[in-house]
Amino acid sequence: MSSGILILFVAALATIFFYSRRHSRLPLPPGPRPKFFFGNVHQLPKKEPWRMYATWAESYGPIFSFRVPNRQLIVLSSLKAATELLDSRATTYSDRPRIWMYTELAKRNLSPFNLSFTHPYFKTYRTVLKGSLSSRTIQKYQSLQTEQSRMLLGDLHKNPEHFAGHIKRNAAAVVLDLAYGWKVTENDDYLIGVLQESMEISAMLFQPGRWFVEVIPSLRFLPSWFPGAAFKRIAFDLGQKLSRSDTIPFNWTKEQIHSGSYTHSFVSEHLLPEDGSTVSAQQEEITKWCSQGLYAGGVDTTSSSLTSFILAMLLYPEVQRHAQAEVDAVVGQDQFPAFEDRGKLPYIGALMQELLRWAPVAPQGLPHHAMKEDVYEGYRIPKGATIIANIFSISRDKEMYPNPLEFRPERFLGPSPQLDPRKFIFGFGRRACPGAWLHFAEASLYLNISCILAAFTIAKPLNARGEEITPPMEFESAGTLWHPKPFKCRFIPRNKDLLATLSQ
């Protein structure tokens, strides 16, 4: 080796050493003082952790860190930090952290939410999911959405006190039809039952602090019969139950296809390609998991937003009047709004933006995972850290949204509208929600919101003396999602003739 090459080699080694030392000397982002071994577990609430993160952000700034056993967490509380890291450096931050109970022991590693960024299926999933929810494809599902929206209006009319259940059923029925061609005809639908059970099991497997294997991952190598390894048997059993949620609806659609009597759906489209080509076992597996992702991602999110809409209309009657006046002026009072009217209803558009901001469905999104060490604003972000974008804090940023707790669609109208919340509400980087933007979720929300406003005035409930009472603006968490606490309201028909058309 010539001396020149040797010098270059030594210089390169010295540079690598210098930078690695420099990086490791950099501090972690500031944060609450951790306790030995348990870190900050004692400070974390069981519910709505995003509120605690927002409080910590006030003390420690838009990027802070804390620790739980075996996990370093970094929380990004400003749009700038979230986009600069998760969007601009997406190749570093688009993996998901491993949840040992769920991902490995219950064998859910192929679920679209948890699939590793480095898995060979990853790109195909994104393409398949995005393609199935693009604005062009979504048009195919408009008649289905319209049919289900009419059914929802009828249910609200006949049985208004169960409005939250009707909304949930509407969201589930649309997604089951879209994904599998399955028609929901009864309230206690079989498939909805199977899939809801799987959502509850998943929440149990994800529950922070419940499973010791998350603290000491090497415990997963214990044989299942070993004393103290009951968690492995539990994970196995729950994994088996969970797999029912992928296989039962998927196999049902396959049987329908084989029998020759099927309706068009996401699954049928992928199992019967237009060019007549044969579908490989791998493509079939991808279709199965993606269809499960549609249900898991699409039901509780859209139903939570629509329930928040009802609450917002109760709390802000002047917004409701304004929106109804727009619908009446543009559509008239003798018909329901349709998809074609959407562009002519700017106030409804602004109301939807405000709804997504005011009641963010996934206030802390889903966690991302740092695939290598990184440096940001002078702080070290260690390889393996879990990164949380606190969408809740961003949606309440007073600089971007003055009086953030007020529901004011006007923010998004006029010559200088405030920032469109769709820039962050659907998450970041290569993990951003594939149902995002003006497509499926928004199309469903638009149709239901505008039709409910045309059909009813949503009014506050009455007390025993017949006086209106105002429900509090209270939300609760269900895993990573957020929805209003149960509340009462009245649906007062605005136009009996219009409602009569529902039963024709």
| Residue ranges in contact with ligand HEM by CB under 6 A | 112-113, 129, 175, 293-294, 297-298, 301-302, 305, 361-362, 365-366, 425-428, 431-435, 440-441
Least Cβ distance, residue 422 to ligand HEM (angstroms): 9
Q: What DSSP string runs through 379-446? A: EEE-TT-EEEE-HHHHHT-TTTSSSTTS--GGGGSSSSPPPPGGGTTT--GGGS-TT-TTTHHHHHHH
| 290 is annotated as contributing to ligand binding | no
Q: How far apart are CA 456 and CA 492, in angstroms?
A: 5
Instruction: Tell me if 290 sits within 8 A of 128, measured CB to CB.
Output: yes
Residue 297 CB, shortest distance to ligand HEM, in Å, is: 2
Q: Which is nearer to ligand HEM, 140 or 258 (CB)?
A: 140
Direct distance between the N- and C-terminal alpha carbons of the chain, in angstroms, rounded to an integer? 89
**Residues listed for the chain:** 504
Cβ proximity to ligand HEM, 23 vs 422, nearer residue: 422
Q: How many CB atoms lie within 10 A of CB 493?
A: 15
Neighbouring C-beta atoms of residue 127, cutoff 10 Å? 13
Q: Which residues pair with 492 in a beta bridge?
A: 457
Give the whole-angstrom CA distance, residue 459 versus residue 469.
Answer: 10
Identify whether the C-beta of residue 28 lies closer than 8 Å to the C-beta of residue 65: yes
CA–CA distances in Å: residue 149 to residues 48, 153, 193, 458: 31, 6, 21, 17
Give the closest residue to 163 by CA, choosing from 499, 488, 446, 503.
488
Q: Are 97 and 369 in contact (CB under 8 A)?
A: yes
Sign of CA dihedral 27, 79, 399, 319: negative
DSSP tag of 272: S
How wide is the angle at C-alpha 316 spanned by C-alphas 299 and 420, nearest 5°? 60
Question: Quick one: 145 or 320, whose CB is closer to ligand HEM?
Answer: 145
Pick 141 or 231: Cβ nearer ligand HEM: 141
Question: Do 380 and 23 contact (CB within 8 A), yes or no?
Answer: yes
Burial annotation 413-432 (CB, 10 A radius, 16+ → b, else e) = eeeeebbebeebbbbbbbbb
Which residue has tokens 């199977």?
Answer: 194
CB of 482 to ligand HEM, least distance (A): 10
- What is the spatial distance between Cα 351 and Cα 114, in angstroms, rounded to a whole number? 32
Q: Are 358 and 379 in contact (CB under 8 A)?
A: no
Query: What is the β-pairing status of strands 63-68 and 71-76?
Result: antiparallel
Whether 360 and 304 have beta carbons less than 8 Å apart is answered as no
Least separation in angstroms between residue 65's CB and ligand HEM is 19
CA distance 42 to 32: 11
DSSP assignment of 76-102 equals E-SHHHHIIIIITTHHHH-B----III
- What Cα–Cα distance (Å) separates residue 146 from each residue in 132, 175, 446? 19, 13, 11
Q: Name the minimum Å distance from CB 108 to ligand HEM.
A: 13
Q: Binding site membership: which residues?
A: 433
Residues annotated within a binding site for heme: 433
